[in-house]
Structures are given as structure tokens and as C-alpha cells.
Structure 1
């Protein structure tokens, strides 16, 4: 079962999108053209592929999970893209904390 909040990682883009619910995911994806390589990362680090099944968005859990360090690297790349935060000051203890930083 997916642990909210999550973040959406778009293939080939450092921008991350904060997602606080399945409804929020549906809203974000309705305006996006997403690829087969885009994925959602939940607060525990589990990765989910986004699929459209019978006209409805579904999340399919993958066998991989991100470590806190990997999630932190994604957040750093995202923040570097925005050029608004000193990257050396970005540090998290958990994946959930990393994802929560996107909410602000």
C-alpha cells in the first residue's frame, strides 16, 4: 500500500512534483503527458510506475526502493534547478522528510 505523501519524478527532468493524495496525483497527471519511465516515490522510498488501466490511473509497485541518500540526491537536483537553496545544506534523515520538504 502506498504511503502518502509522495513525489512524482518525471523522466529526463529534475523537477519533482509533491503529491499529498491519489486525488492530487490524478489532478497533476491529467495535465501532463507522462512517459513509461515516470514514477512515483512514496514516503517509504517505494517506487511505483504510473499506468492507465481502463481509463483510470493506477500505481504499480516496482521491486526497487530509494534510500534516503538517493531521495536526497533527487531533492538536491530539484532545488539546483530552482537555484533557490544552498545544496550543501540539504540533508534528510528519512525519505518521508525529503518528500515533505517539497510541500513548502
Structure 2
């Protein structure tokens, strides 16, 4: 079960997608109907990593990989995301938890 919010890490891209809730995942075609690559991942607020597989109905279905991301890795991911968005002082960006890091992704624009 996904713990929302979550981020989508697109393979080969430093920008992240931010998904606030299950409802947003199910109703926003930019997320649920997007054609993901095999290396794209959804990472939830407790760090669980999901692969994104396309179902027969054309809707993406997150599948738990059994892996978790570390706080250091999600922090690096958020720094790269902030840098891609041309935010300054990204090296000072730090978090106390994975949930805080994922939640911050929604604030970065």
C-alpha cells in the first residue's frame, strides 16, 4: 500500500513528479496514463520503491519492488531536482526524514 504523497523518479531526468494522493494518481492522466520506462520509479513517503507497469487497460500500476530508498539518496534526488528547477543554495537542502523530503518535492517549483 502506497503511503502518499509520493514522487516519481523518471529515468535519466533530474526533475521529479509529485503525486499528492491516491485520488490524484487515479484521476490525473499525466500520472496514471503516462507511458513509463522500465527504470522509472514511484517512491512513497516511507521510502518504498515501486516500479510502474502498464496494465492491459493502459493505466500504470505501481508494483512494490521490495526495496527502500535511503534518506541520503532521496536528499540527493531532491537536490538534483531543485537544481534542475534552477533553485539556489541546493547544497543546503537537508531533511530529517524521507516523508519530509517527499513532501518538500511538492513545494519546489
- CA deviation map 1:39-93 (0-9, x unaligned): 1000010000111223132110012110111100000000111121301210001
Alignment of 1:1-16 (within 5 A): 1-16=1-16
CA RMSD of aligned residues (A): 1.5
Q: Which runs of 5+ in 1 are unaligned?
A: none
1:19 aligns with 2:19: yes
Give distance in 2, aligned partners of 1:51 and 1:37. Answer: 10
Mean CA deviation greater in 4-13 or 77-86: 77-86
Matched position secondary structure for 2:78? helix
Give the TM-score normalised by structure 2.
0.86
1:66 pairs with 55, 65, 69, which one? 69
Alignment of 1:67-86 (within 5 A): 67-86=70-89
Residue 51 (structure 2) aligns with: 49
Q: Which runs of 5+ in 2 are unaligned?
A: none
Change (3 A) 1:31 1:2: closer
